[in-house]
């Protein structure tokens, strides 16, 4: 009789466009079993953790769980030593996570509470600020250490809450410490956005996260302070930080840009039943459009007369015919 061992395949239950920062893999009571098949999706990292300490990191690919693959796990937990029955360990008692390394775009941030600020002109007032930011995880080890600093039992749900709350708390504290000018906050000055980007980049870098961009979209003022700010003249657009991309800012300042160079038109394939000069697989086609509406008159080509061979007598007659006499009026 022949027996076949069925090893469990370890893979995260998600699609490639998952918005979860960290996915905790469910394992048995004994942990991960050696000999199991491991599949790590693209832009994900497989991480083993014991008591909040990162042991091994495996990148994208398909593997078999072996002591060679999880070197640090075997060494730290001393799994290479045989047990009382002189057998090596079949399981590694660790926690397993899949860290999402994809780009996260347009993630909302908001101050947790109303931030109290003070201005010489407007006095003491409280604001609530909102915006968005783009980021991606570049160092799974640093990121998990950052999460484990605030919690013991890490899960897929609380990992996102820890990160998002940390960003909101940091921005709230930054706005309080910087105490930005009320008028700059009202007009969303680019200086504030730049300070937010530089400070938050340094904070997230220590957590294994790369900040790609941040915007300041809305600032809510008390009604009394807002009425005073609304009486101000709008500053030039160059000094405004709208939180939009450079292209959107340029497009807003240039609503009707002058088109330069050749203009292009799209030639669509003809309907069925008519002969089509172009193949449908080649569509669309782009050709330079002639701006002149008037059509040039078509002229027929001038037919050149064939030259005839002339003898000496014919040449003499031709020269006499070309001679002419000028008659002077007397």
CATH number of the domain enclosing 182: 3.30.479.30
100-114 burial, b at 16+ Cβ within 10 Å, e below that, comes to bbbebeebebebeee
Task: Mark which of 201, 220, 253 sits at the end of a domain.
Answer: 253
43 and 125 housed in the same domain: no
Task: Mark which of 238, 253, 268 sits at the end of a domain.
Answer: 253
* Of residues 86 and 279, more confidently modeled: 86
* Of residues 269 and 61, more confidently modeled: 61
Average pLDDT over residues 1-27: 62
User: How far is it, in rounded angstroms, from Cα 299 to Cα 193?
Assistant: 66
Q: Which helix (H) or strand (E) holds 164?
A: helix 156-178
List the structure tokens of 199. 């400070």
231 and 124 housed in the same domain: yes
Confidence of residue 51 (pLDDT cuts 50, 70, 90): confident
Confidence of residue 245 (pLDDT cuts 50, 70, 90): very low
Look at the chain and report how many structural domains it folds into. 2
281-323, pLDDT tens digit by residue?
333 323 333 344 444 455 555 555 555 555 666 667 666 655 5
Average pLDDT, the chain: 75
Confidence of residue 253 (pLDDT cuts 50, 70, 90): low
Q: Give a yes or no: residue 40 inside a domain.
A: yes
Percentage, residues of the chain above pLDDT 90: 43
User: How far is it, in rounded angstroms, from Cα 175 to Cα 127?
Assistant: 10
111-123, pLDDT tens digit by residue?
988 999 999 899 9
* 8 A C-beta contact, residue 249 and residue 238: no
The structure's pTM equals 0.65
pLDDT score, position 9: 61
The parent domain of residue 83 ranges over: 15-100
pLDDT score, position 251: 45
Q: Give a yes or no: residue 176 inside a domain.
A: yes
Task: Mark which of 100, 134, 156 sits at the end of a domain.
Answer: 100
109 and 203 housed in the same domain: yes
pLDDT score, position 4: 36
263-280, pLDDT tens digit by residue?
333 333 334 444 333 333
83 and 177 housed in the same domain: no
CA distances from 152 to 23, 29, 40 (A): 16, 18, 25
169 and 114 housed in the same domain: yes
Q: Give a yes or no: residue 56 inside a domain.
A: yes
Q: Give a yes or no: residue 261 inside a domain.
A: no
Q: Give a yes or no: residue 10 inside a domain.
A: no
């Amino acid at each position: 009789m022949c027996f076949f061992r069925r090893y469990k395949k370890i893979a995260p239950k998600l699609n490639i466009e998952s918005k979860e920062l960290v996915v905790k893999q469910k394992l048995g009571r004994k942990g991960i079993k050696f000999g199991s098949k491991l599949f790590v999706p693209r832009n994900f990292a497989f991480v083993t953790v014991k008591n909040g300490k990162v042991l091994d990191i495996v990148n994208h690919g398909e593997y078999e769980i072996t002591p060679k693959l999880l070197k640090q796990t075997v060494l730290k937990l001393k799994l290479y030593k045989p047990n009382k029955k002189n057998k090596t360990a079949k399981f590694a008692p660790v926690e397993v996570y899949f860290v999402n390394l994809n780009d996260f775009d347009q993630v909302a941030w908001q101050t947790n509470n109303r931030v109290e600020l003070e201005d010489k002109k407007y006095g003491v007032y409280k604001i609530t600020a909102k915006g968005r930011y783009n980021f991606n995880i570049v160092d799974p080890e640093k990121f998990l250490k950052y999460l484990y600093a605030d919690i013991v039992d890490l899960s897929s749900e609380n990992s996102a809450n820890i990160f998002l709350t940390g960003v909101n708390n940091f921005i709230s504290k930054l706005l309080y410490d910087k105490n930005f000018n009320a008028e700059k906050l009202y007009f969303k000055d680019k200086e504030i956005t730049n300070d937010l980007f530089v400070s938050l980049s340094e904070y997230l870098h220590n957590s294994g996260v790369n900040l790609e961009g941040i915007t300041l979209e809305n600032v809510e003022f008390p009604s009394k302070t807002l009425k005073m700010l609304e009486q101000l003249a709008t500053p030039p657009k160059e000094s405004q930080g709208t939180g939009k991309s450079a292209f959107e800012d340029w497009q807003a300042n240039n609503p009707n840009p002058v088109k330069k160079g050749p203009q292009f038109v799209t030639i669509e394939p003809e309907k069925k039943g008519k002969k089509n000069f172009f193949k449908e697989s080649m569509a669309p086609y782009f050709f330079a459009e002639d701006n002149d509406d008037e059509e040039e008159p078509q002229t027929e080509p001038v037919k050149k007369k064939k030259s005839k061979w002339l003898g000496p007598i014919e040449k003499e007659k031709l020269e006499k015919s070309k001679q002419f006499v000028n008659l002077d009026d007397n």
